[in-house]
Amino acid sequence: MSAAGPPQGAKAPTGGSAAREAASVGTTFGKVAVLMGGASAEREVSLMSGGGVLKALLSMGVDAHAFDPAERALDELKREGFARCFIALHGRFGEDGTVQGALELLGIPYTGSGVMASSIAIDKVMTKRVWIAEGIPTPQYKVLHQGAFQRREVIEIPDALGLPLIVKPAREGSSIGVTKVMGYSGMAEAVSLAGTMDADILCEECIEGDEVTCPVIGEGDKAQALPVIRIVAPDGNYDYQHKYFTEDTHYLVPSGIPQGEEEAIQALVLKAYRVLGCRGWGRIDVMIDGKTRKPYLLEINTSPGMTGHSLVPMSAKAAGISYEELCVQLLQSATLDAKAFA
């Protein structure tokens, strides 16, 4: 699957014409707010993502400004004349349809998926239900609802899903609150941790094998998968710390998996992205069963990270798209759900 190229006029400026070329790109967007920070558990990562995006857009001549919804009311966007928003928020109140809905009411186009796709995709359980209905493979699971389960039900989950298994909050990202449970004795603590972050606790079959991720950019039939990245973390533990704050995790792109497998994963990821109604961009995490080589989709991120450790820029670079070009291309795709009914 070939990668989408940069938009018209968005190539990295070179030579003495750099300033003129950057300015010609930036002036088409008007005043742009880069939404970053926010009130979710991923605030710290969002600030890093937003800082990178802001710097990139400014370098391309875009009239871009930082805007933290945790510190300022969103209606200030309208009063201050912002024409577009680049959403660099992660997790709740930024990736779950809430900010998207507010921007719809304000009439300000924004990057990424719309209200419905965002609200479904943030919920790992709802995402699984849609994917299963469409025949897309995802690990088996059980859901515990906070305050509505007994100890006996928790202990019985390994009997249904096997060991090891994964316990996580249904609506958090960046591996926050995730536990790999190795034995029955670890269930209670894992469920308790996830339960501090969400009312719904997802217990999921653990697929052992290669961990990969595949970004997608675009919308509908024009959406395209970028190169697959294989993730090799210490002891297979790709947690929050290893994602953002250490150099111990290795990212392989080209992935090193057989070409046929990579193309099959790209096709599967595109289907999964489209059936949720996503647009703009996203990234889907996949486990490949080490014995059968069958891929299982874990979750989708509709506002992926843009930090120095982030995977979408890494994959885009392998496809010949620079960080700056990627930011401009995403900004160019900013739109509203309401436009579909205009």
Q: Domain spanning 15-111: which CATH class is it, in words? A: alpha beta
**Quick check: do 15-111 and 121-137+207-323 share a fold?**
no
Confidence of residue 172 (pLDDT cuts 50, 70, 90): confident
Residue with tokens 């991720």: 213
What's the pTM value of the predicted model, to 2 decimals?
Answer: 0.88
CATH for 141-205, among 3.30.70.360, 1.20.1050.40, 1.10.238.10, 3.30.1490.20? Answer: 3.30.1490.20
Please state the rounded mean pLDDT for residues 35-53: 95
Quote the CA–CA distance of 169 and 21 in Å, as a whole number: 45
Beta strands 229-232 and 179-181 are: unpaired
Q: Where are the domains of the chain?
A: 15-111, 121-137+207-323, 141-205
- The confidence score (pLDDT) of residue 115 equals 98
H or E stretch at 156: helix 151-161
H or E stretch at 231: strand 229-232
Question: pLDDT (tens digit, 9 = 90+) per residue, 239-288?
Answer: 545 444 457 889 999 999 999 999 999 999 999 999 999 999 999 999 99
The residues assigned a catalytic role are 42, 174, 244, 283, 285, 299, 301, 305
Fold designation for 121-137+207-323: D-amino Acid Aminotransferase; Chain A, domain 1 (3.30.470)
